[in-house]
Amino acid sequence: MPTYDFECKNCSHAFSELTPYHSRDQVACPNCGTKGATIKITTFFVGKSQSSRCDTGGCSSKASPSACPGALAGGCPGMR
């Protein structure tokens, strides 16, 4: 579930809310209670843990993630 940044249309209070996509229009301002805050445009980042990189082929090891030489040593050799 994504976190969205909002600004209240009534009191201009800026806040973040963890809410499903289909409920974005129903978020109420925590400051004044007004519903229908404006969604602010923000950036986001998607990343993977070192162990999942090993599991998805980021590591040169064909073994399981727990056997990947980089999983326990601070990163997969191919991901540095």
- Kindly report, residue by residue over 26-78, the tens digit of the pLDDT: 999 999 999 989 999 877 666 666 655 555 555 554 545 555 555 555 555 55
Q: Residue 61: its pLDDT value, please?
A: 47
Strand arrangement of the beta sheet that strand 38-39 belongs to: 14-18, 3-7, 38-39
Q: DSSP assignment of 35-60, as one string?
A: B-PEEPP--------HHHHHHTT-SS
Q: Residue 54: its pLDDT value, please?
A: 54
Check residues 56 and 17 and name the one with the higher pLDDT.
Answer: 17
- What is the pTM for the complete model shown? 0.52
CB 70 within 8 A of CB 63: no
Check residues 49 and 11 and name the one with the higher pLDDT.
Answer: 11
pLDDT band, very low/low/confident/very high, at 14 (cuts 50, 70, 90): very high
Q: Hunting for tokens 């805050």 — which residue is that?
A: 37
Residues with Cβ within 8 Å of 4's Cβ and at least 6 positions away in sequence, in order, are: 16, 17, 19, 24, 27, 39, 40, 42
- Half-sphere exposure of 48 toward its Cβ, with a 13 Å CA cutoff? 14
